[in-house]
């Protein structure tokens, strides 16, 4: 598998990584969720080269994750806002943040605490089954070929198990 051809792989993760798998792209998205919107603000926050930032923002706009909107007429200046598609990345990003908080935060704890506005409680991300609400981890999930699977499945047969507590 080549990095340049990930977008053509028959794998949802590979195709996703082709768009958001770059570390700068993930940090741009982090800033978007922290309500950074203007090019200069991204640049100041990330200490990133202008060319690299412009490329990452252009890709996110091209992929429909961000939309570029003018906020000033003379001269025309733009801000970048998350689309619905972009907002749907929140669970993936917050899960990575909370994983990092658990495994890489310093002795004083994580740099940011996330609070649920509705109930007012600080929270940790949790993956649950969309059907029954039960908490999920890798051992509670099995995989099977979907409709788009190629005849020669991309998952080795010995990795597809019909048991509930499969070992990853």
* Nearest CA-CA partner of 65 in 50, 44, 86: 86
What confidence tens digit (pLDDT) does each residue in 55-73 have? 999 999 999 999 999 999 9
Q: For position 168, what pLDDT does the model report?
A: 52
- Model pLDDT for residues 115-143, shown as the tens digit of each residue: 999 999 999 999 999 999 999 999 999 98
Q: Could you tell me the two tokens for 44?
A: 């100041």
> Quick check: 39 pLDDT over 80?
yes
Per domain, the residue ranges of the chain are 1-87
For residue 146, the cross-strand partners are none
Helical H segments across 21-156, by residue range: 23-33, 39-46, 50-62, 84-87, 90-104
CATH of span 1-87: 1.10.10.10
Buried residues in 28-54 as b, exposed as e (16+ CB within 10 A)? bbbbbeeebbebeebbeebebeeeebe
Per residue in 137-161, pLDDT (tens digit) is 999 999 888 888 876 555 555 555 5
pLDDT given at position 157: 58
CB of 121 closer than 8 Å to CB of 115? yes
């Amino acid at each position: 598998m080549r990095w340049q051809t990930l977008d053509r792989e028959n794998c949802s993760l590979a195709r996703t990584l082709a768009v958001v798998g770059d570390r700068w792209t993930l940090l741009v998205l982090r800033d978007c969720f922290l309500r950074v919107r203007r090019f200069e603000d991204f640049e100041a926050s990330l200490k990133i080269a202008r060319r690299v930032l412009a490329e990452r923002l252009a890709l996110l706009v091209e992929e429909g994750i961000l939309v570029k909107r003018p906020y000033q007429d003379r001269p025309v200046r733009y801000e970048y806002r998350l689309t619905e598609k972009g907002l749907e990345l929140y669970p993936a990003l917050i899960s990575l943040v909370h994983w990092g908080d658990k495994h890489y935060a310093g002795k004083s704890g994580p740099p940011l605490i996330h609070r649920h506005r509705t109930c007012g409680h600080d929270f940790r991300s949790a993956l649950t089954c969309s059907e029954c609400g039960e908490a999920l981890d890798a051992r509670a999930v099995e995989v099977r070929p979907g409709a788009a699977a190629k005849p020669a499945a991309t998952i080795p047969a010995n990795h597809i198990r019909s048991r509930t507590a499969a070992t990853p």
